[in-house]
Amino acid sequence: MRKAHEATGIHRTFLWHGFVSGIGETPVIAANGADIPLLGLGTWELRGRSCARLVEQALRLGYRHIDTAEMYDNEHDVGEGLRVSGVKRSEVFVTTKIWPTHYAPRELERAARDCLVRLRLSEVDLLLLHWPNPQIPLAETMAALGKVKRDGLTRHIGVSNFTVALIEQALRATSEPLVCNQVECHPFLDQSKLIAACRRHRMAVVAYSPIAQGNAGHDGVLKRIGAAHGKTAAQICLRFLVQQDIVVIPRTSRLERLSENAAIFDFSLNEAEMAAIAALASRGGRLIDWAFAGRSKWD
């Protein structure tokens, strides 16, 4: 088991937000020029007023990282939650993602501008390619993504659901740094090859479905370790990832879960606990396997 903070090519800093009711110190991973908060709010399947309310409450609790996507059909709601929260725009790291059908150069730029209109922002902090699309040459897409950054629509760019081979191709096709690969990542899925590749290139790993879509709560190992720390199995799951400098963006539709998911920075797991959790991983632990990804090509 690799110890946290051990020569990852990524370093951790701390930003103090001073929220007595919430998170307090928010760890931030610095990757290729981007400072990405280790904890964020995922918004997949959240829409309408409930989405805006969750975003608002998360920001008031001290979250400083919100993740959305063109495909989620909730960018307007995310933007509304950001505005009514009262938190300064400069303090929030906003990520959105372009859907693969919009990867042709002109389409990508148009889609990026449409995202900003829905969010009512002048720029996002991070713009990602949501899934690979083998129907459009990656070099053309990466060139367009780099242009979108240079035009000021986003501060940083990255990818999502890319394999090691696709990361290498993407890096060869752009002169702009890629700051992350957002992927399914939790204790039940072996992503060691992908994590190692990202670290070689100083890219952060951003974990979606970090609680394995709720499955973490049923695992005996996680529950046993949680009992020893006075934490839930889900909190142990999240701590396992952030202790490896992996960014987590758990989604929840329940306001009370926001504080629970944030309470992961006031304890540490020892080496034996980390090893026991790591032993849960397998190549067959994947939960999300869309056709865009190329089902037989996962690392």
Task: Just list the catalytic residues.
Answer: 72
Torsion of CA 244, 95, 210, 82, to 10 degrees: 110
C-beta separation of 55 from 88 below 8 A: no
Per-residue tokens: 170: 């993407």
β-bridge partners, 206: 182, 247
For residue 189, give every residue at least 6 positions away whose Cβ sits within 8 Å of its Cβ, in sequence order, or none.
212, 281, 282, 283, 285, 286, 287
Residues in the chain: 299
> What's the rounded Cα separation, in Å, for the pair 7 and 258?
31
Burial of 19 (0-12, 13-18, 19+ CB in 10 A): middle
CA distance 196 to 164: 9
Helices (H), the chain: 48-61, 75-85, 105-119, 138-150, 164-172, 192-200, 220-229, 233-242, 255-262, 271-278
Separation between Cα atoms, residue 279 and residue 235, nearest integer Å: 18
Query: How do 25-31 and 11-16 pair as beta strands?
Result: antiparallel
Whether residue 10 contacts residue 202, with contact meaning beta carbons closer than 8 Å, is answered with yes
DSSP 8-state secondary structure symbol assigned to residue 177: P
Cα torsion 256, 121, 29, 203 to 10°: value is 120
